[in-house]
A and B are shown apart, each in its own frame.
Chain A
Amino acid sequence: MNIKQEMKDDVLVISLSGKIIGGPELIEVKDVFKKAVEQDRLKVLLDLGKVNWMDSSGLGVIVSGHTTLSRAGGALRILNATKKIHELFIITKLITIFETYTDEQKALNSFGE
């Protein structure tokens, strides 16, 4: 799994790629969310478009990020979840918590609404 971060206007875009299958890598992702809050970057867009395999460990870390940001008054939104990842969000009802987007610009704009 790889993690890429980029600021677009005042939104931190975190792009994950590869497999999210558990283990120490997930701690790295949790840390990215914690650092975002420490640096007062409270609008975070998580791009999952290049994640080709993910299980409940990945969902757990996304929920953790949501909680970390929400407690600080921020928000985490999801971009480009593949069909299969979207299915996991539906099965677990996490779809009721997360706003998901397939268009980056619309996702970025949503933070200003």
Chain B
Amino acid sequence: MTKTGELSNIPYDDLVVDERFGPYDEVVTAHLASRLAGPIGAPTVASFAPPAVYPVLFLRALRRAMGGIPAGSILAKQELEFVRELPVDSPVAVTTWVGAKEIKRDRPFVTIEFEIRDAEDQLILTGRKIIVWPTGPGEQA
């Protein structure tokens, strides 16, 4: 199932594991790539998407799917698996979903998964953010 929505500050209890958001269409433009290939914002020529593009695409997808990272959350970990190099000016589709939620050491951890595919539906990258959620079981945002 895919859908879009504004779910900013969604409580932990309302997160649905495996519910898909997207795919969201994006283009890795030369403008975007060049501003992330060198020092942030300093135009640097790049023919392929530099690695820093992907966390930016994650954040864009999170904004569109869930209204962004909830206030009060803590980004604990991030993982990226690079499957295929992407030329600049390529359109991509970003899908995101809650991969897991669990309590560890009395803290609520939520894993948000991402998958990025090119215009030919070839997998470009998979990844995830592991976030300490601002609310736990039974708590409201």
Q: Do A and B bind each other?
A: no
Which A positions have Cβ atoms within 8 angstroms of B?
A: none
Q: Which residues of B contact A (CB under 8 A)?
A: none
